[in-house]
Structure 1
Amino acid sequence: MKLKALLLATAGVAVAGSASAADLPVVAEPVDYVQVCDAYGAGFFKIPGKDTCLKIGGRIRTQIVSDNLQDNDDTTKYNDYDAIARGYLYLHTMTDTEIGLIRTVAEMYSEWNEEGGSAMKVDDAFIQISNNFADVLIGREASMFDGFTGAVDIGVVDRNFSDQGTLQFSLTKSLGNGVTAGVSVEDSSYRDGDKNSIDFVGKIGISQGWGSFSVAGATHAIADEASVRDRFGNAVVVGSDEFTLEKDSSTGYAVRGTATINLDMIAPGDAFVFQATYADSASSYLNASIDSGFAGDLAAGGVSIDNGMLDVIGAKGYSLVAAFSHYWTPEIATTIDGSWMSLEADYDKGGFAVDADLDRWAVDASIGWYPVSGMVIALDAGFANTEYDPAGADSVDFDEAKVGARVQYTF
């Protein structure tokens, strides 16, 4: 009996030992956790196994804007409204290297509109290398020429200031005390210029606690010719050939000055902006294109006018822009901006003659509610008037009035 009891006890101990081993926790493999990159600001994290820090962001924008509410005795049938639902994806990287800090930006979006159509587009995409010498940027980014590009939340009517992304190679140098200077070569085709040609841009500016001031200048490569198109964008045909205009000169130019005054003494975030621009055969730098509905009739024979045609016929002019923003509370702000543009053209070549002045003013205002960080809920209204005054004929004018609303969240 004693031997039997001893054998049973031994077996029990063995079973108990096996059960205890099975219950032991499994040792986890080491994990390479994502690290936060504080040096580059909020939102950056280190890509595992790389020296690169990545920031992923996005934006959802929903918006509706009316078509023209004015009656211009025009037979054109306008849609009732334009609406979009758009999603943005932002990818930003920062890498500290032997040649300097390498920054990359890729921004893209897709959208649906009120007609059931969809589109995808890459917006800005560039590489920037920053070191003690300068900042060098290669890719598509806002033109170095651009200063003020709008203050209202939507901008339902066009105002006459440059706001153009371009392919470019630019160099910017900090001179100390908030002073910077830069030069850039930019693709002319983005401004309806000559194909496979470049515009040269230079800029100098200062930014300090009181605000900022900058001046910029650009030369513009004019296209060899411009096709004459009707108000619907169709080429005008003479015989069997498209009717084209030959350029008056090869190069245009533009200059601008922009001043921003911070008005934090009224309310934090308040500001006033004034900008003046002059352009000769470089109409894109004024955003002077006239291609909205009835405005196409402002040229003889119902010809549609775009920046390329204005450059070819040697149009010259200026624009003045002003804007004011006021925060009633940190969450509610009203903004108004407006522009005045005056152009003149005198061209007579190849059976096409223009001797006329064109004046346009536009004003846009918005009220925005920003209940939480990244959220915008805004209402916007705008009005514009364009007057075309040809020599020896009656002047013609065109009014635009639009309203819009936007709900947007950026994260």
Structure 2
Amino acid sequence: MKLFKGMMLGAAAVATATTAQAADLPVAPEPVDYVRICDAYGARFFYIPGTETCLRVGGRVRADYGISDFGNSGPNSWDSKADNSLRFRARGYIRLDARTQTEFGLLRTYTDVWFTSNNSNFGSAGGNTELWDAFVQLGGFTFGRTGSFFDYWTGESWGSRIGQGLDSRANLAAYTATFGNGLSASLSLESNTGERSPSTYIGGYSRGGFRYPALVANVNVVQGWGGAQLMGVVKANRASTAPVDSETAWAIGASARFNLPMLGSNTGLGLRAVYADGAIGYIHEAYGSYDATLNAAGTGLSNSTGWGVAAGITHYWTPTIYTAVQGQYWDIDTLNTANDLSAWSAHATLGWTPVSGLVIGTEFEYKDEDFGAGGVDNQDMTVTFRVQRTF
């Protein structure tokens, strides 16, 4: 009996100790759904915890290595000792895209920031930060900084050194009305500054302060075959000198990009034509062209006029190897013959995408600028090797 009681007491002691040890063990927390996938706006969006806002975080890293100054004349000739012929660049991008459905329609905010390190003559020397995009959209309204509503097809090639067309940013306020079947129309008030408005006019007169925004309008269609746009802009050329009157400037254009699946997957053709009176920066990324010239009487500005055309095609030879070829021509007439300009440029790109998001390739670019009597002609030739990953 004593033996039995001893065994029972021992078992009770062991059970008590085991229970105490089990009570000391950490308890696994209940699973919490901290991040939920949001598939309403495409891939890679997720819900910000505690909200109904969907966020996509992305970016890009790019490394460019260029050699240039093969031209026969002008500041970009091989004989020039002032220019760096080797051009190295590293650039990082951060992109944030946040979207929320509201009773007023889709609320979207988008930010794209660039961080760049260059050696001189490949953009600005050293490092710089550029706010490429920062805008808010609600319903059909757009407020902030983004691409001009004048621009549509911005080119097939990289344009790593020599600009291939129209891809300018502007601070703006715009409204877009949609009519179904991919048809829309937009009206945009845009900052009348930056690369599309030179700081001086011919004759040494500085540009005056802007009193009115540039007014941009377009009609746009996007369908299965591709897309197209008709666009126009009105702005003012205004000199800082008191007796010089202002001059109204304008430009009109048409642009399209056609999908060509009969030639291969992802094959496309882009076209653009623009005419301008005093708004030369809307023909091409301006290359220092002047919008206006002081007239002979010294009392007003005489607008420069010009036109430009461009075409380009991208073709995938295999799912991972593609080429892009593009050319453009533009012609500018001014009151000062030395600033008249006839120019053309050509681009050829070869790219390899061994894995999704990664591009390795090279680009050849050539530009020829012929100025009027008394002007200095210029040629530029560049070869660039690029490694880029987008995520």
- The interval holding the TM-score normalised by the smaller chain is 0.7 to 0.9
Cα distance 1:312–1:141, how it changes in 2: closer, same or farther (>3 A)?
Answer: farther
1:237-282 Cα distance to aligned partner (Å, 9 max, x none):
xxxxxxx798663321011101222211011111222211011111
Cα distance 1:136–1:19, how it changes in 2: closer, same or farther (>3 A)?
Answer: same
Cα distance 1:94–1:180, how it changes in 2: closer, same or farther (>3 A)?
Answer: same
Worse-matched range after superposition: 194-203 or 174-183: 194-203
Is this contact kept in 2: 1:45–1:54, CA < 8 A? Answer: yes
State the one-letter code of the partner of 1:23: A
State the one-letter code of the partner of 1:60: V
**Secondary structure of 2:340 counterpart:** strand
Match of 1:377 in 2: 360
1:13-55 Cα distance to aligned partner (Å, 9 max, x none):
2343232342355141452431100111110111111111111
**C-alpha distance in 1, partners of 2:284/2:242?**
21
Task: Give the C-alpha shift of residue 359 in structure 1.
Answer: 0.5
State the one-letter code of the partner of 1:250: E
Alignment of 1:59-74 (within 5 A): 59-72=60-73
Task: Give the C-alpha shift of residue 404 in structure 1.
Answer: 0.5
**C-alpha distance in 2, partners of 1:73/1:28?**
71
1:262-320 Cα distance to aligned partner (Å, 9 max, x none):
211011111222211011111111235335xxxxxxxxxxxxx5568799652110001
**C-alpha distance in 2, partners of 1:247/1:271?**
47
Consecutive unaligned residues in structure 2, runs of 5 or more: 199-208, 295-299
2:282 paired residue among 275, 279, 285: 285
State the one-letter code of the partner of 2:117: W
Task: Give the C-alpha shift of residue 111 in structure 1.
Answer: 2.4
**C-alpha distance in 1, partners of 2:380/2:291?**
20
Alignment of 1:159-174 (within 5 A): 159=164, 161-174=165-178
**C-alpha distance in 2, partners of 1:372/1:405?**
18
1:126 paired residue among 127, 135, 145: 135
**C-alpha distance in 2, partners of 1:269/1:340?**
26
Match of 2:377 in 1: 397
Task: Give the C-alpha shift of residue 188 in structure 1.
Answer: 0.7
Match of 2:388 in 1: 408
Cα distance 1:313–1:82, how it changes in 2: closer, same or farther (>3 A)?
Answer: farther
Match of 1:238 in 2: none
2:320 paired residue among 323, 327, 331: 331
Worse-matched range after superposition: 356-365 or 142-151: 356-365
Worse-matched range after superposition: 54-63 or 16-25: 16-25
Alignment length, in residue pairs?
365
**C-alpha distance in 2, partners of 1:100/1:73?**
54
Match of 1:110 in 2: 115
Match of 1:269 in 2: 266
Alignment of 1:282-361 (within 5 A): 282-287=279-284, 289-291=286-288, 314-346=303-335, 357-361=340-344
**C-alpha distance in 1, partners of 2:116/2:107?**
31
1:219 pairs with 2:234: yes
1:386 paired residue among 356, 369, 381: 369
Query: So what's the TM-score if we normalise by structure 2?
Result: 0.85
**C-alpha distance in 2, partners of 1:308/1:284?**
12
Is this contact kept in 1: 2:338–2:371, CA < 8 A? Answer: no
Is this contact kept in 2: 1:67–1:78, CA < 8 A? Answer: no
Alignment of 1:51-90 (within 5 A): 51-72=52-73, 75=80, 77-90=82-95
Cα distance 1:157–1:176, how it changes in 2: closer, same or farther (>3 A)?
Answer: same
State the one-letter code of the partner of 1:13: A
Deviation beyond 4 Å, 4+ runs, structure 1: 73-76, 244-248, 305-313, 353-356
Worse-matched range after superposition: 193-202 or 263-272: 193-202
Match of 1:364 in 2: 347
Consecutive unaligned residues in structure 1, runs of 5 or more: 226-243, 292-304, 347-352
Cα distance 1:27–1:268, how it changes in 2: closer, same or farther (>3 A)?
Answer: closer
Cα distance 1:136–1:73, how it changes in 2: closer, same or farther (>3 A)?
Answer: closer
1:198-253 Cα distance to aligned partner (Å, 9 max, x none):
1101000222222222100001232434xxxxxxxxxxxxxxxxxx7986633210
Q: CA RMSD in A?
A: 2.7
Match of 2:154 in 1: 149
**C-alpha distance in 1, partners of 2:171/2:61?**
26
2:190 paired residue among 186, 189, 198: 186
State the one-letter code of the partner of 1:369: W
Match of 2:247 in 1: 250
**C-alpha distance in 2, partners of 1:338/1:79?**
26
Query: So what's the TM-score if we normalise by structure 1?
Result: 0.81
Task: Give the C-alpha shift of residue 73 in structure 1.
Answer: 6.4
1:199 paired residue among 205, 210, 214: 214
**Secondary structure of 1:207 counterpart:** strand
Task: Give the C-alpha shift of residue 398 in structure 1.
Answer: 1.7
Is this contact kept in 2: 1:222–1:249, CA < 8 A? Answer: yes
**C-alpha distance in 1, partners of 2:293/2:8?**
103
1:158 pairs with 2:163: yes
**Secondary structure of 1:401 counterpart:** strand
Task: Give the C-alpha shift of residue 356 in structure 1.
Answer: 5.3
